[in-house]
Amino acid sequence: MSLDINKIRADFPILNQKIYGKDYIYLDNGATTQKPQQVIDVVSHFYQHSNSNIHRGVHYLSEQATLAYEGVRKKIQTFIHAEHEHEIIFTKGTTDSINLVAFSFGERYVKEGDEVIISAMEHHSNIVPWQMLCERKNAKLKVIPFDKSGELELDKIDALFTKKTRILAITHISNSMGTINPIKEIIRKAHQANVPVLIDGAQSIQHLKIDVQDLDCDFFAFSGHKIYAETGIGVLYAKEKYLNEMPPYQGGGDMVDKVSFEKTTYLGAPFKFEAGTPNYVGAISLGSAIDYLLEIGLENIAEYESELLKYATEKLLAIEELTIYGTAKKKSAIISFLIKNIHHYDTGMILDKMGIAVRTGTHCTQPVMDVLCVTGTVRASFAFYNTKNDVDKLVEGVLRVKKMFD
């Protein structure tokens, strides 16, 4: 089935405006996605008619808000096929989810001399929390390298596992190169070595069907704002057995059973990990974004985006002296590139003046840039509301930049 792009684009009001008097071409979806009117309407309706703090009141709207919030937890359980509803923890986003695991899992399972494995293509969010843990515990961080095409060197993974390895944290899709990592195979290898795995799903949840039981991952983190919902809401999926063992990450209201100055006891998961008033409106927007996506169909989205990636890759590669960074066999619709020796900021700024929004810089993956021997790249990242016309406009813009510097 092909997507009805005109209908889809009409759902995203932000796309239908002029920037500097030009049609707006939004190609920074890796950073955040735009919101369909349906999600905006749900949030607006909630504030107009239903707002009340959850889990606290016996009054009507509080109960309705609680039901709506808990309903989204159930929806996410189904969406990623988790075994239990209480394995879904609401967080602020991917970064918050990873920090929760690095702290709480770290407190419970990591001690001096232990090891944590990540990869060389991680976002800073999946590097720094582990580094902080390693510093706290005097543990060691080990890194899986990737090759020139941006594919992980899988043959090197086995040698990294030792009896001291406590966790492997790895991204599903590289946000700077687009590589789709073979996470199912990596998880299998890790489990053979008795090592649990955290998947950073910030760039995959909006593009691929996720089944956490089929993957058998132990933790899966994602952000609402990258899947067409609001900012400030995210999810941590974690297997029940870890949630039962891990201590709370933060203390406060809503996560406690009994509080006294002598001793406080905690609720079980998920509430143990959701201290304070959560972003319940964000959660409701996430539920609405998932409904929207399911209506279009994740398979249809994946098929459409991979067509777009193929088209954009061919068009960009046809430009002389343009290099694409990240040429893995399996890629998501993310293209990092440079035009000969033109600085990425210059390219990005000129494209901006043409109404084209791309990302420039290191994309929070400085170690990736070190391996690629560049100071940064220009990144075009696509969503299902982008079109071949957007790609043509990008190509036109790139040719113009090139001409300006010739």
DSSP helix/strand/coil, 144: strand
Q: Which tokens hold the place of 354? A: 């043409």
Residue 72 backbone class (left: φ over 0; alpha: ψ -120 to 50; beta: rest): alpha
Residue 203 touches ligand PMP, criterion: CB under 6 A: yes
Closest separation between CB of residue 364 and ligand PMP, Å? 6
Catalytic residues: 364
Residues 6+ apart with CB under 8 A from 250: 275, 276
- Looking at the Cβ atoms of 174 and 387, the one nearer to ligand PMP is 174
- Scan for tokens 């790249």, then name that residue: 377
Closest separation between CB of residue 237 and ligand PMP, Å? 15
- Looking at the Cβ atoms of 178 and 397, the one nearer to ligand PMP is 178
DSSP helix/strand/coil, 98: helix
The Cα 4–Cα 220 span in angstroms is 31
Residue 202 touches ligand PMP, criterion: CB under 6 A: yes
Task: Dump the DSSP string for 268-279.
Answer: -TTGGG--SS--
- Looking at the Cβ atoms of 15 and 202, the one nearer to ligand PMP is 202
* Size of the residue set binding ligand PMP (CB under 6 A): 13
Count the helices and strands in the chain (H runs, E runs).
14, 17
Q: Which tokens hold the place of 200? A: 């950073």
Closest separation between CB of residue 293 and ligand PMP, Å? 17
Closest separation between CB of residue 51 and ligand PMP, Å? 24
Q: Which tokens hold the place of 79? A: 């969406």
Residue 230 touches ligand PMP, criterion: CB under 6 A: no
> ∠379-382-386 over CA atoms, to 5°?
130
Peptide bond into 182 cis (omega under 30): no
Closest separation between CB of residue 255 and ligand PMP, Å? 21
Q: Which tokens hold the place of 297? A: 């169909």
Site for ligand PMP in 30-59 (CB under 6 A): none
Applying CB under 6 A, among 33, 95, 119, 181 the residue interacting with ligand PMP is 95
> ∠150-203-287 over CA atoms, to 5°?
170
Residue 200 touches ligand PMP, criterion: CB under 6 A: yes
Q: Which tokens hold the place of 347? A: 């390219």
Applying CB under 6 A, the span of 8-16, 93-101, 141-149, 246-254 interacting with ligand PMP comes to 93-101
The Cα 110–Cα 405 span in angstroms is 53
Q: Are 338 and 374 in contact (CB under 8 A)?
A: yes
Residue 151 touches ligand PMP, criterion: CB under 6 A: no
The interface mask with ligand PMP, positions 115-144, x = CB under 6 A, is --------x-xx------------------
The interface mask with ligand PMP, positions 363-392, x = CB under 6 A, is -x----------------------------
Applying CB under 6 A, among 181, 223, 332, 387 the residue interacting with ligand PMP is 223
The interface mask with ligand PMP, positions 302-341, x = CB under 6 A, is ----------------------------------------
Closest separation between CB of residue 183 and ligand PMP, Å? 13
Residue 273's identity, in one-letter code, is: F
Q: Are 50 and 61 in contact (CB under 8 A)?
A: yes
Site for ligand PMP in 348-367 (CB under 6 A): 364
- Looking at the Cβ atoms of 133 and 398, the one nearer to ligand PMP is 133
Which helix H or strand E contains 386, and what residues bound it? none
- Looking at the Cβ atoms of 115 and 200, the one nearer to ligand PMP is 200
Site for ligand PMP in 239-298 (CB under 6 A): none
Task: With CA atoms as reference, report the closest residue to 354 among 401, 406, 309.
Answer: 401
Residue 91 touches ligand PMP, criterion: CB under 6 A: no
Applying CB under 6 A, the span of 87-95, 274-282, 288-296, 398-406 interacting with ligand PMP comes to 87-95
Closest separation between CB of residue 164 and ligand PMP, Å? 26
Q: Are 271 and 261 in contact (CB under 8 A)?
A: no
Residue 101 touches ligand PMP, criterion: CB under 6 A: no
Closest separation between CB of residue 234 and ligand PMP, Å? 6
Q: Which tokens hold the place of 319? A: 């430009």
Query: Looking at the chain, how many residues does it have?
Result: 406
Binding residues for ligand PMP, rule: CB under 6 A, are 93-95, 123, 125-126, 171, 175, 200, 202-203, 223, 364
